[in-house]
């Protein structure tokens, strides 16, 4: 059964992303208490129609936690064109050649779908995948797809049913999907990973456009990345998560 895109009321609430960014300095005491990592490489992929500027706050935070953090350096994310896919592949392989295996991938929205597909292609090189509001369960359950149905923006893929089936398949690496029920761009149900080993869904209360710089999201990411290599356990809120973080299905 198809999942409906977010309501127009939720779309209207996306403007709060600017308030979420403005409130980030107030959360610095909590962010400084987030766990540090082991310095392993992390690649961050931006959402549709955005570029590395959109993930700057996230990458700054992770560098402060001690990671080797990299943007995708493929310009503006205009969708999965052959040129974009080739550039992303070259970028990932360059980072693998530089650092070796054990790269964590973080993808925001469409960037998360790219991250998941990289993990399918190079599972031996991926430590874990963290997606932020990525509609891998149903890519049509988005405000962008709604506009496309009105003739605005890119046309739907004629092979959408085949694509949907592929994107839903669980990954061979540990996976965390972070989602928000108040997302105005993608339906939160489209972001849910199936229950299974080393797979989880974690809920935060934020907008879609503000998720990548919301303090709650950053704290969940820090917790996930700090797990020792070769180990993985589901997210459990701790004292610092008095911020609006909820554990959802695992």
Q: What is the pLDDT of residue 245?
A: 46
**Residues shown for the chain:** 250
Residues 185-222 have pLDDT tens digits of 999 999 999 999 999 999 999 999 999 999 999 999 99
Q: Quick check: helix, strand or coil at residue 43?
A: strand
- Per-residue pLDDT reduced to its tens digit, 67-98: 999 999 999 999 999 999 999 999 999 999 99
Q: How far is CA 89 from CA 84, 95, 113, 114, 185, in A?
A: 9, 10, 14, 10, 27
How high is the pLDDT of residue 247?
A: 47
The dihedral region occupied by 109, where left means phi > 0, alpha psi between -120 and 50, and beta the remainder, is left
Instruction: Provide the token pair at 178.
Output: 């972070």
pLDDT band at residue 223 using 50, 70 and 90 as cut-offs: very high
Q: Say how far apart CA 94 and CA 47 lie, in whole Å.
A: 21
Q: In b/e form, how buried is each residue of 128-155, taking b as 16+ CB within 10 angstroms?
A: bbbbbbbbbbbbbbbbbbbeeeeeebee
| pLDDT tier, 151 (very low <50, low <70, confident <90, very high otherwise) | low
| Whole-structure pTM value | 0.93
Per DSSP bridges, beta strands 245-247 and 199-204 are antiparallel
Mean pLDDT across 147-168: 68
Confidence grade of residue 248 (pLDDT, cut at 50, 70, 90): very low
For residue 161, name the pLDDT band (cuts at 50, 70, 90).
Answer: confident
Q: Are 179 and 188 in contact (CB under 8 A)?
A: yes
Architecture of domain 8-24+38-227+239-247: 3-Layer(aba) Sandwich (3.40)
- Which residues contact residue 1 at a Cβ distance below 8 angstroms, ignoring those fewer than 6 apart? none
């Amino acid at each position: 059964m198809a999942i409906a895109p977010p309501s127009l009321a939720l779309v209207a609430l996306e403007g709060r992303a600017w308030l979420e960014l403005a409130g980030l300095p107030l959360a610095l005491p909590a962010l400084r208490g987030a766990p540090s990592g082991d310095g392993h490489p992390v690649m961050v992929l931006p959402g549709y129609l955005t570029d590395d500027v959109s993930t700057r706050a996230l990458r700054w935070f992770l560098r402060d936690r001690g990671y080797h953090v990299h943007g995708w350096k493929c310009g503006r994310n205009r969708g999965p064109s052959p040129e974009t896919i080739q550039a992303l592949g070259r970028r990932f392989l360059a980072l693998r050649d530089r650092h070796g295996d054990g790269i964590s991938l973080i993808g925001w929205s469409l960037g998360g779908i790219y991250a998941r597909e990289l993990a399918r292609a190079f599972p031996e090189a991926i430590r874990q995948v963290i997606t932020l509001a990525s509609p891998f369960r149903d890519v049509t359950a988005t405000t962008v797809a709604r506009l496309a149905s009105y003739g605005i923006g890119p046309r739907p893929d004629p092979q959408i049913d085949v694509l949907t089936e592929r994107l839903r398949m669980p990954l061979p690496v540990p996976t965390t999907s972070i989602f928000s029920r108040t997302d105005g761009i993608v339906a939160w149900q489209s972001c849910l990973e199936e229950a299974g080993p080393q797979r989880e869904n974690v809920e935060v209360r934020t907008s879609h456009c503000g998720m990548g710089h919301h303090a709650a999201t950053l704290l969940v990411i820090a917790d996930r990345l700090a797990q020792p290599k070769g180990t993985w356990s589901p997210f459990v809120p701790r004292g610092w998560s008095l911020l609006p973080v909820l554990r959802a299905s695992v």
